[in-house]
Amino acid sequence: MKFILYSVFFGLIALSVFACKEDDKEGTLTLHFKAVYDGQPLQTFTTYSFNSPEQIQFTHLSMYVSDLTLYSGTTEKNLHDIALIDLSFNSAGAADSGYTLVLENVPASSYDGILFGIGVPPDENAKKPADFPSSSPLSLTGYYWLGWNSYIFMKTEGRLDTIGNGDFSIGYALHSGSNQLYRTMDGPVPLVIEDGKNTDLTILFNYKEILEGVDIKSNPQNHTPQDTSLIMKIVNNLPSSIHLIP
């Protein structure tokens, strides 16, 4: 009798330990954010052809990426709240490496895809940089625009040569912001996170596609509150311009 009781007792303990271990299996997901143009890693201060005969250079590319979530069926696992992804690289090597975000302690499992927002979610966008400690990417006043009462979600800045003669005399600053321009991206890419192992996922931002149909020459800046048509174009281009490569 004693033997049976002991067996049941230790059996239950063993079961709970193994059950816990199963739940605790975790791996790492490394996200590589990269900017490309015409299939090449995008380097700042490098000349690219734009709407012929225009030529374009980029000086600064960045965006908030928020609510990074893996999903499987209807189950979602939030991995990271918000990060400021800076893709401004002026060397080929750095541009090729991109911006790396390492997400640890991801539950080991098979996932159907990844969700993430481009911009600051409305609940956080209701706050201001002063509400956050300096360690938070949301503390940066350079990413808040008073006229919109909003964070600047995405910055695309550079210079434009309008006649193709190498004179990049027009500076442009295309910034998105305000809740109506927040977008959630759904990347239905199967991902397997294995216990103790790393899984890589590359997220490409194709800026030629992002700027498709955008008339920079006519409207190189957009900071008046009512001026959203141009930036709306960019935001609507995002889903077809972001490519996920496992």
Q: How many CB atoms lie within 10 A of CB 97?
A: 13
**Torsional sign, CA 149, 151, 156, 158:** positive
Taking contact as CB under 8 A, which single stretch among the options 5-13, 97-105, 138-146, 188-196 is the one that binds another protein?
Answer: 138-146
Told to check if 158 binds another protein by CB under 8 A, we report yes
Among 40, 139, 202, 228, binds another protein (CB under 8 A): 139
Give the SS3 label for residue 228: coil
Measured CA distances, 134 to 114, 140, 204, 207 (Å): 28, 8, 28, 30
Is residue 186 involved in binding another protein (CB under 8 A)?
no
Nearer to another protein, 53 or 171 (CB): 171
Question: Which residues 94-113 are close enough to bind another protein by CB under 8 A?
Answer: none
Cβ closest to another protein, residue 84 vs residue 114: 84
- Using rule CB under 8 A, residue 229 touches another protein: no
Under the binding rule (CB under 8 A), the answer on residue 144 touching another protein is yes
Please write down the HEC assignment for all residues of 125-192.
Answer: HCCCHHHCCCCCHHHCHHHEEHHHCEEEEEEEEEEEECCCCCCCCEEEEEEEECHHHCEEEEECCCEE
- Asked whether position 146 contacts another protein by CB under 8 A, the answer is yes
172 contacts another protein (rule: CB under 8 A): yes
**Is there binding between residue 30 and another protein (CB under 8 A)?**
no
**Chain residues 59-78 in contact with another protein, contact rule CB under 8 A:** 59-60
Report the C-alpha gap between 146 and 43 in whole angstroms. 30
Task: Rule CB under 8 A: say whether 223 interacts with another protein.
Answer: yes
Chain mean position to CA 201: 12
* Site of interaction with another protein (CB under 8 A): 44-45, 57, 59-60, 88, 90, 129-134, 139-142, 144-147, 157-159, 168-173, 220-221, 223-227
